[in-house]
Structure 1
């Protein structure tokens, strides 16, 4: 293309003055709200060998050999969910009395329902984020982020409860240690460990998990023998005790069998802490591992928790269990050890009871510390995903250059955990209540998300399916447990809402940055601050002058050929590059001395423009005006951007794209506050093409959207690597 043709084309697509855009009757559009025209006839010809090389590189990097095995993934989540055995039986006994084993068994049955719910949902959308990821692909981004706030609180409380209980068991051995300071030291230790990376963390978790399963198995075997052969067990005596008095919305009432089951079941749900964690790092797991982790965790909860609770009732009077609710199993092991010594006629100086109690206490300390590790790993995956989606500040994406880990996220989590330790004064029961509110909210929302997935994404391929009956039953079960905790511990709602408000305000402020800045502009105008005259930045074909390109673009030797007309195949010399087309992501300009002297009004306008100057991509498979319109509406509602690039991957069988170009131009005129461009790429849609576009346009993959895949979709969902599904 000659210089004169370039100039003519550029001039023909220059943005008109605000308020005068062709096709709109708007009398006034602010300059900062009008991004300019899009481009509608840009054709790219990525070299096939390069696409194949990118695809091969991505396939090898995501191979199963570099990902977590079943044992490693189960260990990370299992240390959390199985560590609950050390404190949940005591807490459930406070409200259920002798029916605690039954309540823990009911929780196991509920978890069986959630095995299939999680399996269907996460295999359909195999990306990190858990509940947040499901709702992000099925509902609005705001709703997904608010739901994620519950998960964040749950992880904070999980880490604190586990750390406190670990130190409580350690105090049975070393009585002189301080509970609060030791808990903070333990939390800091795992902050350092996780800063070294998930592989090292998985190795430590695996060692802890195997030792813990061995301990619980041994304690269960000895406990069963104790129940069957000991003449000094307390089962009959405990069975005749009255049901505990319960708190019903602040009023004390006598306990009944129904209050014991209702409130006991509600408290027992604390015993499934960690079940959702596996979904937070599914991208780091090898293929097929996730479903196996769900099965392994369910089996552990179903077997160990009810059985150990029953054994504790045989070994200890019920009032001793409630008085030592944080260290029940240590006392149980001590009694069983004394019985073993007496039954086998061991020498008098052999302290078998003390030795078995010491063993259980050490294991409790280690595995509960491992549950702290689980909290760190889970929160890291969730927060990073939210930051990438611009739901949280981008500074959280900073990586430690030495260890290549998200040190800011991990340190922030450590700081929040410390605040909860101090605020709730190391009260495990209070922390357990706060955790239940958050965790049960997460599980109920996840079950709700599963039902939305069935309705809104029915064609999405999935490896497992669950029935509507199971989804509804699981949802009602956790809602019942949530209601029981609210009625039984209403005073803890204050602490819960403090954390929810703090985290929620941060998330909401990120979503409403544009609206907040517009309010500031309005206030400045009302105060009489006038906008200074300032020239618009130079515009090119896309209405925006791109200022950067990925470094490897220039090292590649030759620029990718991009055509401004459908006749590119016939006239390959008529080309420009993507930078000239104005499609590259724009870097924030460097501040100079002049910018420092800008007016307050102009500074706010510049900030507003920089927030919205982040492009997104929507892949249009067909020339469907209805779908493209829905995509634009979704972007306007959920993203703070003024740029949307419609990408069409043109194959040999595809027809002329002229009609598609006209439709995109129409959409661009209909929505004056967002610049809609069309990029036609010669080649098939695939992982190589996705990565090429991400590199060439400097747009992350999580800023790319597609319609819901169907049964004919040739790619695996995980190969989309976080690409969002926004419409049918």
Structure 2
């Protein structure tokens, strides 16, 4: 037997009975000779195929003798190269670098329940300034009922969001949730919705703040759109100071807002007690018709409920920065914002109907500032206007910081260029992401003709669609990654009810104003096209080169020849960006499906199969052989096998990333079981199989 075969001989699994009963081969010069064993035939085939490979790993596989689709490129362009097998022992420097990375990540979890609540709280609790007028316009005197029902709906979403966060405490959700439980294409749809949602949050908040100011100061020296631009610029500068400092500013703003709303509620309640219920009766009579049927009343409540969801915008931002929140605080953050949202929206709506005449409410004026004027006088009105401007500016900050977390994840997953990860040296702020998002928000506002009405119409649909991704993500997690550890699994009934509610509310919003769907579709499809293009860069470049290749004259001109070489080099460099799959077993079907995932979801021709082992158990018996088979099966991918003498744990994974110069964000693994002792946020890897 060959020395190679001898060195790799090992006991294999029992063969099926059908193989054991195979007939013997007759030897006319002696007794019957049994057929080769499974072990001998398996390794014989591998050895026969692999020994044709030159020692320097040059040469092509026979598969690539087929003609190339390119006129001026041979099959060697398609061939990624032969893989190799390496045994690696991590150095002390690698381990120190890995430990330093983990410590840095732990130190970034700086947000407690109140600072984390403040970042999204200004958007959630500040939405009362633009949600109430929108709800009254369709819900009329039944608006308190509509708003109360709308705020109660979040009791369905809170346990869904908590279970997802316990399983995958990774920033950028729900994009990162979908990425770990489904395909990257679907995840990019979620990312497109999130980016549009965050931009809408920033633009609507800035424009509403400017509108409130213009409503109180008619002689402003600049138009409303300039005021909105100033707000966007100011909070772009603030966000460049870093997330911790921004959270502290947001907490101060939220505290002032809650104090202002408390004073307004107390003052309005006292005033209501003084004037009695006459105004409420007048509004009730003016808002309902004597022959109103139960169906028309239900329709008003339904439409008000659909638009009442605007009073909850901002909740979707919380999971976007969950990796910055201290462990165990996420459920408290949801509670801290949900309960005040129920009280604030419902109580304010009742007080407005009890004190302010209905024709003024529907007139589109600054409703809460008028309520403050009637309840407390001019001083309280000025206070509420200032509070509205400040807290809505805080909503701009929420949109910017949430978008930065999303853009960082997209850069880590190679959808966006690496320069989105660059940080300011003193503040640690991702300045490229901040400035890019500010530019995108400005472009969104400008393309809508600086119309707050258009952006607001679209905002409700965007928010609802984003919220639908949470139950969808949890359903996919249960089905595709059911073994992962998570806290307090909820009933499937809750998930299905949430999934039923979303389309019902979407239909209601579209029925109120059908143009809403058109604006939403236009912006959404535009972002999806951009992300799809950035994700499929090599595919697009191949089409460009193929078109260039069809014209022979272009290959004789020096200028165009240079462009051809640039395209080839660009494709080659992009293809050689490596990814890793971290494997536990040597099952070839399991390895095959993981490689298929990489082939379908990542643009690379360089894959490293990594296995951590210890000396006691050794390397799985068939891993090396199967790696060679797979290297043969995928000529367009170089498949290396790296065997690491170390324990599989976060520090060693980070050390490996440092050694190979491959970020953990492009290291993939199978779903860990419930007894797995580490969090996915510590590993930083992606789950790609059950």
TM-score tier, shorter chain, comes to 0.7 to 0.9
Matched, 1:333 2:372: yes
Matched, 1:479 2:523: no
Separation of aligned partners in 2, 1:529 and 1:467: 66
Q: How does 1:161-172 map to 2 (within 5 A)?
A: 161-172=204-215
RMSD, aligned α-carbons = 2.5
Matched, 1:100 2:143: yes
Separation of aligned partners in 2, 1:621 and 1:653: 15
> The residue matched to 2:678 in structure 1 has which SS?
coil
Is contact 1:64–1:286 with CA below 8 Å preserved after alignment? no
> The residue matched to 1:469 in structure 2 has which SS?
helix
Is contact 2:94–2:659 with CA below 8 Å preserved after alignment? no
1:131 corresponds to: 174
Give the structure-1-normalised TM-score. Answer: 0.82
> The residue matched to 1:12 in structure 2 has which SS?
coil
Segment drifting more, 448-457 vs 72-81: 448-457
Is contact 2:99–2:655 with CA below 8 Å preserved after alignment? no
Report how many aligned residue pairs link the two structures: 629
> The residue matched to 1:276 in structure 2 has which SS?
helix
Matched, 1:44 2:88: yes
Deviations 1:156-177 (A, max 9, x none): 1111111111122223443322
Q: CA deviation at 1:13?
A: 4.7
2:156 corresponds to: 113
Aligned match for 1:647, one of 610, 631, 655 = 610
Is contact 2:581–2:610 with CA below 8 Å preserved after alignment? yes
Q: CA deviation at 1:468?
A: 1.0
1:407 corresponds to: 431
> The residue matched to 2:153 in structure 1 has which SS?
helix
Separation of aligned partners in 2, 1:438 and 1:295: 23
Q: How does 1:364-383 map to 2 (within 5 A)?
A: 364-383=388-407
Structure 2: which 5+ residue stretches go unaligned?
1-50, 69-73
Q: CA deviation at 1:597?
A: 8.9
Is contact 1:392–1:506 with CA below 8 Å preserved after alignment? no
Separation of aligned partners in 2, 1:669 and 1:55: 33
Separation of aligned partners in 2, 1:647 and 1:230: 75
Separation of aligned partners in 1, 2:485 and 2:559: 53
2:308 corresponds to: 268
1:303 corresponds to: 343
Is contact 1:75–1:202 with CA below 8 Å preserved after alignment? yes
1:384 corresponds to: 408
Is contact 1:87–1:328 with CA below 8 Å preserved after alignment? no
Aligned match for 2:572, one of 609, 619, 622 = 609
Q: CA deviation at 1:477?
A: 1.6
Matched, 1:183 2:228: yes
Matched, 1:201 2:246: yes
Would you tell me which structure has more helix in proportion to its own residues?
Answer: 2
Is contact 1:649–1:680 with CA below 8 Å preserved after alignment? yes
Deviations 1:459-515 (A, max 9, x none): 111123222111111222222111111222212333323322332221111122222
Is contact 1:664–1:678 with CA below 8 Å preserved after alignment? yes
User: Residues 424 and 522 of structure 1: is their aligned pair in 2 closer, same or farther, counting only changes over 3 Å?
Assistant: closer
2:296 corresponds to: 256
> The residue matched to 1:234 in structure 2 has which SS?
helix
User: Residues 527 and 80 of structure 1: is their aligned pair in 2 closer, same or farther, counting only changes over 3 Å?
Assistant: same
Deviations 1:109-153 (A, max 9, x none): 111111111111122111111110110001110110012111111
Separation of aligned partners in 1, 2:379 and 2:675: 62
Q: CA deviation at 1:10?
A: 9.9
Q: CA deviation at 1:661?
A: 0.6
Q: CA deviation at 1:405?
A: 2.1
Matched, 1:12 2:22: no
1:550 corresponds to: none
Separation of aligned partners in 2, 1:10 and 1:690: 32
Give the structure-2-normalised TM-score. Answer: 0.86
Separation of aligned partners in 2, 1:373 and 1:387: 21
2:40 corresponds to: none
Q: CA deviation at 1:237?
A: 1.3
Matched, 1:714 2:677: yes
Is contact 1:243–1:256 with CA below 8 Å preserved after alignment? no
> The residue matched to 2:622 in structure 1 has which SS?
helix
Separation of aligned partners in 2, 1:705 and 1:624: 16
Aligned match for 1:30, one of 59, 75, 89 = 75
Structure 1: which 5+ residue stretches go unaligned?
1-7, 245-252, 338-352, 533-594
Deviations 1:281-309 (A, max 9, x none): 11111111211111111112111101101
2:39 corresponds to: none
Separation of aligned partners in 2, 1:53 and 1:415: 39
User: Residues 303 and 70 of structure 1: is their aligned pair in 2 closer, same or farther, counting only changes over 3 Å?
Assistant: same
> The residue matched to 1:516 in structure 2 has which SS?
helix
Matched, 1:148 2:191: yes
Aligned match for 2:633, one of 660, 670, 685 = 670
> The residue matched to 1:673 in structure 2 has which SS?
coil
Q: CA deviation at 1:521?
A: 2.6
Separation of aligned partners in 2, 1:424 and 1:609: 40
Separation of aligned partners in 1, 2:102 and 2:280: 58
Q: CA deviation at 1:262?
A: 1.9
Aligned match for 1:627, one of 560, 578, 590 = 590
Is contact 2:65–2:75 with CA below 8 Å preserved after alignment? no
Is contact 1:91–1:429 with CA below 8 Å preserved after alignment? no
Aligned match for 1:466, one of 473, 490, 501 = 490
Deviations 1:251-284 (A, max 9, x none): xx99921221221111111111110111111111
Q: CA deviation at 1:232?
A: 6.3
Q: CA deviation at 1:185?
A: 0.5
Separation of aligned partners in 2, 1:726 and 1:233: 63
Q: CA deviation at 1:598?
A: 5.1
Q: CA deviation at 1:38?
A: 0.5
User: Residues 464 and 531 of structure 1: is their aligned pair in 2 closer, same or farther, counting only changes over 3 Å?
Assistant: farther
Separation of aligned partners in 2, 1:664 and 1:223: 73
> The residue matched to 2:581 in structure 1 has which SS?
strand
Deviations 1:210-231 (A, max 9, x none): 1111111222223333334423
User: Residues 63 and 603 of structure 1: is their aligned pair in 2 closer, same or farther, counting only changes over 3 Å?
Assistant: closer
> The residue matched to 2:677 in structure 1 has which SS?
coil
> The residue matched to 2:62 in structure 1 has which SS?
coil
1:548 corresponds to: none
Separation of aligned partners in 2, 1:530 and 1:650: 54
Q: CA deviation at 1:360?
A: 0.9
